[in-house]
Amino acid sequence: MSRWLAPIAAGALAAALAWHLSLVAAPFALMRVAMNRLGASGRVNSFSHGAPTRAESQFVVRPSPDLLYSTCVYDRSSGPVLVDVPAIPDHYWSISIFDARTDVAAVRSDRDTGGAPARLALVAPGTTAPPGYQAIALEHARGIALIRILVSGDADYRAVDPLRQLASCRAG
Amino acid sequence: MLAGGGSAVQAVRQGFADGTLASGPWETGKDFGSVDATPLVRARVALRGLLALPRSEAMYFTAQRDSSGAALDGSCRYEIRGGRFAARWWSITLYDHAGWLVPNEWHRHSVGSGAVPAQDADAWTIAVAPAEEPGLWIPSTGAPQFDLTLRLYHPGAALRDAPQQAVMPEIQRVACGA
C-alpha cells in the first residue's frame, strides 16, 4: 500500500501543476491570438477603428453590437506609448488598457474625465509620463488599448465616426 | 498531466462556484478584469469575454436558462420582463454557446436601454423569438441554443457589492415550435 503513496501523490501533484499552468497560460495565449488578429495589418501603436459589429465581423467573443470599438495593439518596449482619446459629447465612451495577461491596467470613461479628453502614457514601471499625460505603468510590454463608444443606429454612427478618428496611439 | 489540464479546461468552460454569483437565471463573475482575479476567473474571462471591463465600469450577466430553469431554445418564443437598473445604461444581447453573434437577416442582436420608450422604462418587455415582431424584439433565428448577456454600465454600489440580490429580468418561455 505504502509504495503506491508516492506515485499517487506525484500524480496528484502533476495534475495540480498542469491545472495551474493551463489556467495561468490561457489568458496569455488568448491575448496573443487577439493581438495577432487585431495587429494582422502589422501596425502596432496605431488605432484601428472597427466598423459597427455585425455577426459577419467579430474580432473577439461576445462583442456588443451597441458599442463602437477602436483598438490599438501597443508595444511600449522602445519607450512610452501615448494614447489620446478626444471628447465625444453626449455619448458613453471609455478607454481601457489591457495587459498581456488580460488584466485591466486602467479604465477612463467620460465620467472619469468629466467629458474632457483622456490622455494616457503607457510606460514601464518607474518611468514618468510626458507633461499632460497620466502614467499607466505596465509590467508587460504589449497589450491592447480599447475604446468603446455607445452608439444608437447608423445616423449616430456617422456622427460619431469622424470624432473617434481623432484618437491616437503613438510612440512618444 | 492530462487530467489536470483537462479538468482545468472543464472548470473554465463550465464555470463553477469559484467567483460566480447568480440572481435567477443571470450569472456574473465577482472580479472580471481585476488584478485580484484568481487564475481560474482570469482564464474564464479570457475564454468567455476577452477584453471585458472591471465591475466598477461594467457588469456582465449571462443567462443560459429561462426563469423556470430550462435551457434557452432558439425555436421558442420568450418574453424578458424587467424595469430600471441602478446603472447608467444597459443592453441585452443574444449569443450562441460559443459567445458569437448569430447571423440573421435583420442584423439585430440586442436591445439596449436607449431603445426602450420612456413611458416603459419601469416595466418593459423584450421578445426573443425566431419570427419578426414589432416593438422590442431580438431574433433567435438560426440559434438552436443560445444565451443572453446583460451589460450594465456604471453600476451603482449596491449592485456591484451584492449582484446576487439585484432584481433581475424574468425570462419567460411563452411557446415553442412552429
A137 touches chain B (CB under 8 A): no
Shortest alpha-carbon distance between residue B155 and chain A (Å): 12
B50:A20 CB<8 A: no
Q: Is residue B38 part of a domain?
A: no
- For B111-154, what is each residue's pLDDT tens digit? 999 999 999 999 999 999 999 999 999 999 888 999 999 999 99
Of the listed ranges A37-41, A145-149, B119-123, the one predicted with least confidence: A37-41
Of A76, A86, A101, A109, the residue nearest A165 (C-alpha):
A86
Q: Is residue B9 part of a domain?
A: no
Sign of CA dihedral B45, B9, B98, B73: negative
Residues B98 and A58: their CA atoms lie apart, in Å, by 12
Nearest by CB to residue A15, choosing from B1, B34, B104, is B1
Closest alpha carbon within chain A to B101? A55
Q: Is residue B135 part of a domain?
A: yes
Q: Locate cell 415582431: which residue? A: B133
Contacts of A98 in chain B (CB under 8 A): 33, 51
Looking at the structure of chain B, the number of domains it has is 1
pLDDT given for residue A12 in this prediction: 65
The crossing angle, in degrees rounded to 10, of helices B2-14 and B39-48 is 60
What ipTM does the predicted assembly reach? 0.83
Residues A55 and B100: their CA atoms lie apart, in Å, by 7
DSSP β-ladder status, A118-123 and A134-137 = parallel
- For A12-22, what is each residue's pLDDT tens digit? 666 666 656 66
Q: What is the pTM of this model?
A: 0.84
pLDDT given for residue B177 in this prediction: 83
**Domains detected in chain A:** 48-171 (2.60.40.1610)
Q: Is residue B39 part of a domain?
A: no
**Which structural domain range is residue B103 located in?**
54-176
Q: Is residue B170 part of a domain?
A: yes
Name residues of chain B where pLDDT drops below 70. Answer: 1-19, 30-49, 178
B130 touches chain A (CB under 8 A): no
B55 touches chain A (CB under 8 A): no
**Angle made by CA atoms B79, B81, B87, in degrees to the nearest 5:** 135
**CATH for B121:** 2.60.120.600
**Of residues A162 and A38, which shows the higher confidence score?**
A162
pLDDT given for residue B13 in this prediction: 42
Contacts of B13 in chain A (CB under 8 A): none
Please check the confidence at residue A35 and state whether its pLDDT lies above 80: no
